Amino acid sequence: MSLEGIIPWGWAPDWGSGIREWLEWLTDTLPAHGGEEQRRSLRLGPRQQFEFRVLAQGSDRAWLESVLWRHGNGRFAVPLWPDALTLEAALPSGSTVVPVDPQGRQFAAGEPVALLGDSPRQIELAEVASVAGGVVTLAGATAQAWPAGTQVIPAPVARLDVPAALPRFTGQVASVRLRFEMDRPAAWPEEIGAAAYRGYPVLEEAIDWAEDPLVQLDRRSTTIDAGTGPVLVDDPVGAPLPLFRARRTLLSRSEIAAWRSQLFALDGRRGAIWVPSWSEDLLPAATIAAGSTTLDVHWCGVAANLAGDPMRRDLRIELIDGTVLYRRVTAVSELSASVERLTLDSALGVEVAPEGFALVSWLSLTRQESDVAEFAWWSGDVAQTTCSFRGFRHDV
């Protein structure tokens, strides 16, 4: 691509205010009367936005305002600050290979990369030719020498998504919050994860219990009320279409990259994934033999309320040794006032005493509730995100 006319953005963010990133897919969802869905994607890839705050003072503040005044509707090469790498040794002028490992970061062939020094004026843009072999190869040679400690940051072309507001602490200091939208659809390798059940992936990543996870039992019901007689409520699904919401804190680049790969594989609301409740839904009451297909649990009203419900028949069974098994409940009966018996579609294959179970949770087949995924970056290695999934009726 040509870098002509692209304005390099060199003002570093205020990390104390955090950095926000959004990925936005577009899905056409057609719900059936009975709770089934047909879904299709309407974009080649998600739109990507970055928002951060800049604190500028003195001549840097005046220069920043001048650039926004002149180029507020222009095309900027905006560094993706969480993906910054640092040169460990000096880089001579005329270099075409930058010795930084781009693995797990958003460097891409054909897009700009920024080399950034200690001030906004110390910046050079170059085009990425390839990111193979653990280095970033440039399409052309660097124009100047760069010392060790220089930041190397992917800097895709973007435009301001909303007009810049310039609140001032004083006549010399301004705190500016800016949101940029990238010119091109975002791209990332798709990888849904290794866990699978009945042909669909399973969400196995741990949630952050520092914020209470939510299970909301929404129903697709219609209330008919003329105001003069009885109220009629029509519930065509006959069961809730649950909403699951939980926060995740990603504590490493590998976790962040893996979650991004899952998001791209799910393709917004189009893809389906099994989501466990992460709760102690069933408490085993007796030892289960390796070849047994019956699981006795403490009474919790399963037989009276959930027997035959197609959306409450799949289990995630975690043992204390870390083994995770998935099974379908085919029948439920009450053995006594304190014990219920669940019949499973296949044996666990191992003898397990009640104390050998770590967690037995219901599984629900879901899709994402929203086409928008958000990352709240607190550093280059730590980000928070909120997962929201919606159950739907199925015949899997």
What is the per-residue pLDDT for 35?
87
User: Within 10 A of 65 (CB to CB), how many other CB atoms are there?
Assistant: 16
pLDDT tens-place string over residues 255-281: 999 999 999 999 999 999 999 999 999
Mean local confidence (pLDDT), 149-158? 97
pTM above 0.85, yes or no: yes
Residue 168 or 291, more confident:
291
Q: Enter the tokens of residue 22.
A: 């959004």
Rounded CA separation 355/109 (Å): 53
pLDDT tens-place string over residues 338-364: 999 999 999 999 999 999 999 999 999
Mean local confidence (pLDDT), 325-343? 97
How do the residues of the chain divide into helix, strand and coil, expressed in percent and rounded to 5? 10, 40, 50
pLDDT tens-place string over residues 55-91: 888 888 889 889 999 998 999 999 999 999 999 999 9
What is the per-residue pLDDT for 162?
83
Residue 53 pLDDT > 80: yes
If pLDDT is split at 50, 70 and 90, which confidence band does 169 have? low
Residue 234 or 147, more confident:
147
**For the chain, percent of residues with pLDDT exceeding 70:** 99
Residue 61 or 102, more confident:
102
Q: Enter the tokens of residue 104.
A: 């797990």
Q: What is the DSSP letter of 392?
A: -
Mean local confidence (pLDDT), 171-190? 91
Rounded CA separation 120/124 (Å): 10
Residue 130 pLDDT > 70: yes
> What are the phi and psi torsion angles at 60 (to 5°)?
-65, -40
Q: Please, are residues 358 and 376 in contact by the beta-carbon 8 Å criterion?
A: no
SS3 for 104-170, per residue? CCCCCCCCEEEEECCCCCCEEEEEEEECCCCCEEECCCCCCCECCCCEEEECCEEEECCCCCCCECC
Mean local confidence (pLDDT), 189-200? 94
The mean pLDDT value of the chain amounts to 94
If pLDDT is split at 50, 70 and 90, which confidence band does 297 have? very high
SS3 for 267-294, per residue? CCCCCCEEEECCCCCCCECCCECCCCCE
Q: Annotate 203-235 with DSSP letters as a single string.
A: --SPP-TTS--EEE-----EEE--SSS--EEE-
Residue 393 pLDDT > 80: yes
Rounded CA separation 160/253 (Å): 27
Q: What is the DSSP letter of 237?
A: S
If pLDDT is split at 50, 70 and 90, which confidence band does 50 have? very high
What is the per-residue pLDDT for 273?
97
Domain boundaries, the chain: 7-182, 196-391
What is the per-residue pLDDT for 249?
96
Sheet of 123-130, strand order: 85-86, 151-154, 112-116, 123-130, 136-138, 97-98
Q: Which amino acid is at 89?
A: A
CA-CA distances (angstroms) from residue 264 to 51, 191, 244, 314? 21, 8, 20, 26
